[in-house]
Chains A and B, each alone.
Chain A
Amino acid sequence: DIVMSQSPSSLAVSVGEKVTMSCKSSQSLLYSSNQKNYLAWYQQKPGQSPKLLIYWASTRESGVPDRFTGSGSGTDFTLTISSVKAEDLAVYYCQQYYSYPFTFGSGTKLEIK
């Protein structure tokens, strides 16, 4: 199984600050035939279901604010929030869909100071 590792496990920032969080996979998620990285980011707010933010490592899902940016390739990925809002309080998970079984990282909990 592909192991997904996220860091940090939590971080606290002030509104307006820039945030970056990391996700690493135990093997490359770049599929050579289509040059796509099979990596998604989800946001889970307290008491809610996960919501898809980013897929193919850097494609924003429809309706997701452009302050959310995904980057990276191969085994190293980053989710950046350019200017945090209070509503961004959530746990962020990365997930690989390169191969079954799909696997998730342990999450990064974003807290607002």
Chain B
Amino acid sequence: EVQLQQSGPELVKPGASVKISCKTSGYTFTEYTMHWVKQSHGKSLEWIGGINPNNGGTSYNQKFKGKATLTVDKSSSTAYMELRSLTSEDSAVYYCARGGITTALYYYAMDYWGQGTSVTVSS
């Protein structure tokens, strides 16, 4: 069974950084792209970026360049997203979501999602 288990809620101060994890199981981690999605309270979904766990190659939404950094640890089948210089605008729930196979020529929908990690930025 494919599972994406995210780290717990975070309360961080303005200007600080936070690193969220997404531990996977049930499939070969390096074979599928991992995406990250933001959902502000009561709002829609925003794609932050995606990472190829096999080679670490990344693609970012221009809006989140400089804000988010995506990395992976292949040894533990875990994806990470670090958010820096946090402001109240970054308070949201963040999801990791599995995309298509990394060797595909085309993009794919996101078929498995983590449970979400709530980040609250407050002094």
Contact = CB atoms under 8 A, between A and B. Distances in A.
A106 B112 CA distance: 21
Interface stretch (B24-32, B79-87, B102-110): B102-110
Contacts, number: 58
Contacts of B37: 50
The size bracket of the interface on B is 20 to 34
A55 interface: yes
Contacts of A93: 44-45
A105 B116 CA distance: 19
A55 B113 CA distance: 15
B61 A97 contact: no
B110 A49 contact: no
Contacts of B116: 49
Contact of B113 (A51, A61, A105): A51
Contacts of A40: 109-110
B97, B107, B114 interface centre (most CB from chain A within 10 Å): B107
A49 B115 contact: yes
A34 B115 CA distance: 33
B95 A50 contact: yes
Given A102-B35, A103-B47, A38 B107 contact: yes
23 contacts: A31-B106, A38-B107, A40-B110, A49-B115, A49-B116, A50-B37, A50-B95, A52-B109, A52-B111, A95-B45, A100-B47, A100-B50, A100-B61, A100-B107, A101-B63, A102-B35, A102-B47, A102-B107, A103-B47, A104-B44, A104-B45, A106-B44, A107-B44
Interface of B: 35, 37, 44-47, 50, 59, 61-63, 95, 97, 106-116
